[in-house]
């Protein structure tokens, strides 16, 4: 039985992942913002096979509440085999440009809260000498683009932080997995026109579990984003700044 | 651009997603109407609202409660029957009614009050729904069932999504010994024999359905294969857990692969290769959903798509009328491999617009050939209407308004329950055409 803590459990990717884990009879602890939806998701996961599924509603930008939340999760699960951090918002880039407050809010939600959680989780996992810390970052964090660099820079913070943490925990037996999805068809992206590059949440969920199984470090999901991002990173800034992406 | 399963009906829509069953009804621009949209498996335009909006239910895919003792399942409306099957068959429960594809949502199954091969014993899908919640565009939530606010239940079951959005439903499942069916298949030389064997099988076999060779004429008119089956008393839960489609049609061929030549050839071979009588053990997916094994089989008909014509004819005239329909179809050379005949019994359907009547239903696909198809359908319509029969809205893309009004006398009562902001391409067509 896998014991799994999911933070941001109402996100579409997290829920699709949780369903697969539930079908494998995992024990789950769900954390998210919306209590009503969390309760509904927990009931669904229990029916789908989760041996245990508790949940609690949390505003994750309240960093001071993290420690107690983690205590409750560990008390409920007993041990952490997998921690999946999946929360995030895709705020409107133009609105962020017009407001310092909104920019900082977006950075706090997508970047700082993840760093705060990982900082608290690292010693717990290291003490276990086992487990997986899987965090959903994004291909948007690889390079700043005019269309969403606030979101992108928060994800860049997360990716770089995890890269350092991975080195630190390299010999501890803990897997640190950076998940970099491309475009995923979820409620967060409901307003976008969908093309051939878009993946389904189920596809991404399957990829996450595969990456955990393989003890991978960085997973681009779907995998075709890895060469695409390799090219995008190689474009000189002098050229890149003129592109409309 | 959204198209329905027959691909004849398609058009532009504004798309809305409900984020959860607790979310409010979306606020729409003035004058815009909306239609709940499940998995788009209706054949014609009853699941479309061209020029308007669709309210997609794909996020409403949660199970809410399952009592493994009594077999009562409550789930959100966007849950697919395939999800239910995957969940409950290992526990020896089974949906009480299954249509020809498992890729329909619970909301869609209710809104079309679908039927299956066991209609003669189990009635329609709606017969097993205990309760549902209807979200109206006004924001009102109406909980209804066969014992509570019955008038809303009767309007919503078979109500084609026009009474508002079904957010969740509760249904009673049935016990089964396992995933296997004990199937007997009998070759019948003509339509009379087919109907006779079908009727005499009704009492002892839970499932009966017949495939008809609609290309055969004269003495062989309506020859076919009758399948009758019961759940096998077999303990093995089996290995064939959730078969994925065996074949996928990745694109639409430039012309219809179904035409008079391929039709005659296929049907003749299919009929002749079959022994007089054969009995076998079949997994439920293969028995109930043979077409699901070919992913996107609707593309077989090419870019012009196809129509499905499904009618029901009341019992007392069924034999003669079905023979006449088959005679016209056989002489037209149209039609397709997928011609299905089934006897309905007299278990009443709960919906005001439910399709089944005690009698015989005939369902055929026709490649879209424009006016030739229209002329053929008009001839069939005249016979069906004269016999007091009717057509199935879930399959329809072309019936005249008068045909609908004469077939569904309760539609006037139904209109009192429609939601002011809900409409569909089908509904406008029926109301506006003669």
pLDDT band at B246 (very low <50, low <70, confident <90, very high): low
Asked if the model's pLDDT at residue B388 lies above 70, the reply is yes
Query: What's the CA gap between B367 and B302, in Å, rounded?
Result: 8
Reference A201, options A18, A13, A6; nearest CA is: A13
Predicted local confidence at residue B241, as pLDDT: 46
Interchain CB distance below 8 Å, B63 and A47? yes
What value of ipTM does the predicted structure carry? 0.89
- Are the CB atoms for B430 and B407 separated by under 8 Å? no
Residue B312, beta-bridge partner list: B361, B390
For chain B, give the mean pLDDT: 92
Asked if the model's pLDDT at residue B239 lies above 70, the reply is no
Q: Which residues of A touch B19 (CB under 8 A)?
A: 187
Q: Which two tokens stand for residue B284?
A: 């439920």
Predicted local confidence at residue B240, as pLDDT: 47
Percent of chain B with pLDDT over 70: 97
Asked if the model's pLDDT at residue B182 lies above 50, the reply is yes
Percent of chain B with pLDDT over 90: 75
A1–chain B nearest CA distance, Å: 19
Q: Out of B20, B21, B66, whose CB is closest to A47?
A: B66
Percent of chain A with pLDDT over 90: 91
Q: How many CB atoms lie within 10 A of CB B362?
A: 27
Query: What's the CA gap between B237 and B253, in Å, rounded?
Result: 39
Secondary structure (DSSP) of B81-103? HHHHHHHHGGGTEE-S---S-S-
pLDDT in tens, A158-194: 999 999 999 999 999 999 999 999 999 887 777 777 7
Q: Which residues of B touch A12 (CB under 8 A)?
A: 59
Predicted local confidence at residue A35, as pLDDT: 96
Maximum mean pLDDT: which of A21-25, B12-16, B263-267 = A21-25
**Mean pLDDT in residue range B46-58:** 95
Asked if the model's pLDDT at residue A61 lies above 90, the reply is yes
Query: What's the CA gap between B169 and B171, in Å, rounded?
Result: 7
Strand A175-181 to A52-57 pairing: unpaired
Query: What's the CA gap between B314 and B302, in Å, rounded?
Result: 34
pLDDT band at B332 (very low <50, low <70, confident <90, very high): confident
Q: What is the DSSP letter of B25?
A: P
Catalytic positions of A: 151
List the single range of A51-55, B82-86, B333-337 with lowest mean pLDDT: B333-337
Contacts of B99-103 with CB under 8 Å at 24 or more apart are B99/B125, B100/B288, B100/B289, B100/B291, B101/B41, B101/B289, B101/B291, B101/B292, B102/B285, B102/B288, B102/B289, B102/B292, B103/B39, B103/B41, B103/B292
**Mean pLDDT in residue range B18-41:** 95
pLDDT in tens, A126-148: 999 999 999 999 999 999 999 99
For chain A, give the mean pLDDT: 95
Asked if the model's pLDDT at residue A204 lies above 70, the reply is yes
Interchain CB distance below 8 Å, B63 and A43? yes
Asked if the model's pLDDT at residue B238 lies above 70, the reply is no
B71–chain A nearest CA distance, Å: 13
Query: What's the CA gap between A109 and B283, in Å, rounded?
Result: 49
Exposure string over B226-264, b if 16+ CB within 10 A, otherwise e: bbbbbbbeeeeebeeeeeeeeeeeeebeeebebbeeebe
Q: Which two tokens stand for residue B4?
A: 């329905």
Predicted local confidence at residue B54, as pLDDT: 96
**Mean pLDDT in residue range B93-120:** 97
Q: Which residues of A touch B66 (CB under 8 A)?
A: 47
Coil, helix or strand at residue B120:
helix
> Which of B106 and B237 is assigned the larger pLDDT?
B106
Partner B, chain A 171-190, Cβ-Cβ below 8 Å: 187, 190
Q: Which residues of B touch A48 (CB under 8 A)?
A: 63, 87
Predicted local confidence at residue B260, as pLDDT: 76
Torsion, Cα B265 B270 B273 B276, to 10 degrees, reads -130
Asked if the model's pLDDT at residue A17 lies above 90, the reply is yes
Predicted local confidence at residue A245, as pLDDT: 75
**Residue partners of A179: CB distance under 8 A and separation at least 6:** A134, A135, A136, A137, A207, A208, A211, A219, A221
């Amino acid at each position: 039985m896998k014991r799994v803590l999911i933070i941001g459990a109402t996100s579409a990717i997290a829920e699709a992942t949780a369903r697969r884990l539930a079908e494998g009879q995992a024990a789950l602890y769900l954390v998210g913002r919306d209590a009503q939806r969390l309760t509904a998701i927990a009931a669904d996961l229990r029916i789908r096979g989760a041996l245990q599924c508790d949940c609690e509603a949390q505003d994750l930008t309240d960093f001071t509440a993290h420690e107690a939340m983690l205590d409750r999760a560990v008390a409920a699960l007993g041990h952490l085999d997998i921690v999946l951090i999946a929360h995030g918002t895709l705020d409107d880039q133009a609105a962020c440009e017009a407001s310092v407050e909104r920019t900082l809010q977006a950075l706090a939600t997508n970047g700082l809260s993840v760093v705060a959680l990982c900082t608290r989780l690292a010693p717990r996992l290291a003490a276990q000498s086992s487990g997986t810390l899987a965090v959903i970052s994004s291909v948007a964090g690889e390079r700043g683009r005019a269309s969403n660099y606030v979101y992108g820079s928060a994800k860049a913070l997360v990716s770089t932080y995890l890269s350092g943490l991975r080195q630190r925990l390299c010999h501890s037996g803990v897997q640190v997995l950076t998940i970099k999805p491309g475009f995923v068809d979820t409620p967060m992206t409901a307003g976008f026109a969908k093309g051939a590059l878009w993946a389904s949440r189920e596809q991404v969920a399957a990829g996450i579990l595969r990456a955990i199984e393989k003890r991978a470090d960085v997973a681009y999901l779907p995998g075709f984003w890895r060469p695409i991002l390799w090219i995008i990173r190689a474009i000189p800034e002098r050229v890149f700044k003129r592109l409309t992406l | 651009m959204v198209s329905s399963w027959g691909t004849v009906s398609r058009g532009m829509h504004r798309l809305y997603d409900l984020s959860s069953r607790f979310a409010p009804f979306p606020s729409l621009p003035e004058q815009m109407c909306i239609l709940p949209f499940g998995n788009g498996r209706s054949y014609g335009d009853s699941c479309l609202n061209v020029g308007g909006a669709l309210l997609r239910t794909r996020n409403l895919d949660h199970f809410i409660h399952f009592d493994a003792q009594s077999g009562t399942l409550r789930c959100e409306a966007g849950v697919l029957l395939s999800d239910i099957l995957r969940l409950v068959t290992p526990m020896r429960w089974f949906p009480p009614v299954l249509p020809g594809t498992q890729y329909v949502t619970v909301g869609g199954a209710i809104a079309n009050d679908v039927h299956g091969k066991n209609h003669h014993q189990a009635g329609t899908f709606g017969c097993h729904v205990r309760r549902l919640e209807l979200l109206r565009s006004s924001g009102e939530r109406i909980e209804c069932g066969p014992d509570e606010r019955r008038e809303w239940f009767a309007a919503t079951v078979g109500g084609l999504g026009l009474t508002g959005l079904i957010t969740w439903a509760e249904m009673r499942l049935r016990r089964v010994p396992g995933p296997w069916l004990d199937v007997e298949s009998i070759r019948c030389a003509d339509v009379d024999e087919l109907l006779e064997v079908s009727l005499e099988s009704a009492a002892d076999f839970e499932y009966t359905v017949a495939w008809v060779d609609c290309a055969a004429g004269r003495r062989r008119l309506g020859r076919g294969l009758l399948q009758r089956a019961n759940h096998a008393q077999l303990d093995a839960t089996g290995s064939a857990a959730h078969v994925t489609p065996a074949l996928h049609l990745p694109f639409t061929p430039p012309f219809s692969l179904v035409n008079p030549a391929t039709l005659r050839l296929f049907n003749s071979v299919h009929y002749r290769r079959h022994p007089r009588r054969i009995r076998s053990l079949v997994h439920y997916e293969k028995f109930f959903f043979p077409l699901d094994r070919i992913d996107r089989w609707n593309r077989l008909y090419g870019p012009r798509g196809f129509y499905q014509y499904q009618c029901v004819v009341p019992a007392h005239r069924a034999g003669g009328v079905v023979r006449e329909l088959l005679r016209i179809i056989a002489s037209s050379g149209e039609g397709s491999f997928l011609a299905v005949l089934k006897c309905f019994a007299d278990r009443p359907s709960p919906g005001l617009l439910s399709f089944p009547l005690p009698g015989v239903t005939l369902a055929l696909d026709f490649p879209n050939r424009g006016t030739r198809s229209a002329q053929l359908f008009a001839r069939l319509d005249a016979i069906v209407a004269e016999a007091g029969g009717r057509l199935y809205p879930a399959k329809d893309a072309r019936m005249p308004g008068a045909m609908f009004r004469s077939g569904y006398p309760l539609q006037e009562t139904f209109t009192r329950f429609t939601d002011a902001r809900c409409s569909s391409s089908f509904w406008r067509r029926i109301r506006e055409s003669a």
